[in-house]
Amino acid sequence: MPQPPPPTLPPGARAAAAWSAVVLLVGGAAALVITVGVVLHAAVVPVLLALLVTALLEPVHRLLRRLGLPAGIAAGLTSAVLVAVAGGAVWVLVTVLSGASGEITDALGQAAERIGGDGPIASAVHGAADGLRDLGKSAAGAVAKGVLSGLGLAAQLLAGAVLTLALAFFMLRDRGRAVAAVRALAPAGHGDLAVRMALRAYRAMGGFMRGTTVIAAIDATLIAVGLLLLDVPNAMALGALVFIGAYLPYVGAFLTGAVAVLVAFADGGVGKALAALAVVLGVQLLEGSVLQPVVQGHAVAMHPALVMLAITAGAAVGGLLGTLLSVPLAAAASGVFAELRDRTRPVRSPRGTTPAGPQRPAAPPR
């Protein structure tokens, strides 16, 4: 019987070719999904925002269901909680920032003058001051601008918010149907795996959103109290900036902390700036060593380099909104890869031997 001809490529080259094909396929699929998302952003963005807020408020809905409320009523009450909390938070942030942005901008300008010259540091501080001034003006004049010249944009934002709220309601109410739909749409024999990956991604997003919100509130409160004790002007507004910046891991903490230190420097010189820097660094050390392990735990276990790359890619694709959505989406993708890794990880017998075949996962929750 004739023997098959030997392979023309060595094993290493064949493995490299196989992995290259996998990378090209995955990269092409990801590029297609991103392109479609950018083209259909008016529909995709509300879906993504609804997923994030649904994952954030899932414990509230679960608690209401345990109290015996029907799925529809529980989803409606959870949506009402979302409107109250989100509306109140936006109102507080806009009020605080619009009232203090001018003073913070002037303080940054004074800090740049104290640093002196036209060097890169002073130019960067002037740029930050201009950006904050624009933020305050836009926040303070959003309503008037919408009435006078941007009524179409205001209507789009309102329609997007209503669509996001409606989608969040249906996602909370019909969670069981969504699980059944994922199982039905998956290829034959892979329904349970698809459900487990979807649930893992959903839980990763929920862990990121809940953990980041709690950590942001604690960081903003501690830094605002520290700046108040140091008699730094506009300490509450600086705390609001810290809260917003917390949703951009690492990058947001650095930028908002730098603004707080520069405002302290403009008000009281090097001594007060060093004290403000100690407050900011102390809070960040508390966050990294205590808050993140306790609050977030292993729900979002991503390397800082991956977070930086996700933020950069999100900013390149979707600007500010892409920057805000990049990390929770990266957390979801990390959850999917973690589920695949756990599925293919071999099971070790009590004697230490490794049987062939992947680990058989338990049935997914319904």
Among candidate residues 53, 262, 265, the one with its CA nearest the CA of residue 168: 53
Q: Are 295 and 302 in contact (CB under 8 A)?
A: no
Q: Using alpha carbons, select from 136, 139, 169, 143 the residue that is nearest to residue 158.
A: 143
pTM, 2 dp:
0.69
Average pLDDT taken over every residue of the chain? 76
pLDDT band at 279 (very low <50, low <70, confident <90, very high): very high
> pLDDT at residue 211 above 80?
yes
Which single residue is written with the structure tokens 């108040």?
A: 228
121, pLDDT greater than 70: no
Mean pLDDT, range 85-97, rounded to an integer: 76
Taking residues 169-182, report their average pLDDT: 84
**Span 64-84, pLDDT tens digits:** 989 989 988 988 998 898 888
- Are 120 and 206 in contact by the 8 Å Cβ rule? The answer is no
- What per-residue confidence (pLDDT) applies to 299? 54
Give the per-residue pLDDT at 147. 43
Neighbours of 334 (CB within 10 A): 20
184-188, 218-222, 316-320, 362-366: least confidently modelled range: 362-366
Ramachandran angles phi, psi of 354, nearest 5° = -115, 105
CA dist 298 → 16, 306, 362 (Å): 32, 16, 20
On whether the CB atoms of residues 98 and 142 are closer than 8 A, the answer is no
Supply the DSSP string of 31-71, one letter for each residue: HHHHHHHHHTHHHHHHHHHHHHHHHHHHHHHHHHHHTT--H
Residue 161, pLDDT > 90, answer no
Q: Roughly how many angstroms between the first and final C-alpha of the chain, as a whole number? A: 54
pLDDT of residue 365: 47
Q: Is the pLDDT of residue 163 over 60?
A: yes
Please, are residues 133 and 288 in contact by the beta-carbon 8 Å criterion? no
Question: What's the pLDDT band for 221 if we cut at 50, 70, 90?
Answer: very high
Predicted local confidence at residue 2, as pLDDT? 61
Amino acid at 316: A
Give mean pLDDT, residues 156-165. Answer: 79
Q: What percent of the chain has pLDDT over 70?
A: 73
Rounded to 5 degrees, what angle do the CA atoms 275, 276, 282 make?
A: 90
State mean pLDDT over 87-98. 75
pLDDT at residue 142 tops 50: no
Model confidence pLDDT, tens digit, residues 286-305:
887 887 777 766 555 677 77
Label residue 241 left, alpha or beta by phi (over 0 means left) and psi (-120 to 50 means alpha): alpha
> What pLDDT, on the 0 to 100 scale, is given for residue 228?
92
pLDDT in tens, 223-262: 999 999 999 888 888 888 888 888 877 778 888 888 888 8
pLDDT at site 97: 66
Instruction: Give one DSSP letter per residue of 90-148, joined into a string.
Output: HHHHHHHHHHHHHHHHHHHHHHHHHH-TT-HHHHHHHHHHHHHHHHHHHHHTHHHHHHH
pLDDT of residue 226: 92
Sort 201 into a burial class: Cβ within 10 Å, 0-12 / 13-18 / 19+. buried
139-178 burial, b at 16+ Cβ within 10 Å, e below that, comes to bbebeeebeeeeeeeeeeeeebeebbbebbbbbbbebeee
- Residue 136 and residue 42: Cα distance in Å, rounded? 26
Give the mean model confidence (pLDDT) for residues 13-40. Answer: 82
**In terms of pLDDT, which residue wins out, 259 or 130?**
259
92 near 236, Cβ under 8 Å? Answer: no
Confidence of residue 12 (pLDDT cuts 50, 70, 90): confident
Which pLDDT band holds residue 33 (cuts at 50, 70, 90)?
confident
182, 195 in Cβ contact below 8 A? Answer: yes
3-class SS of residue 185 = helix
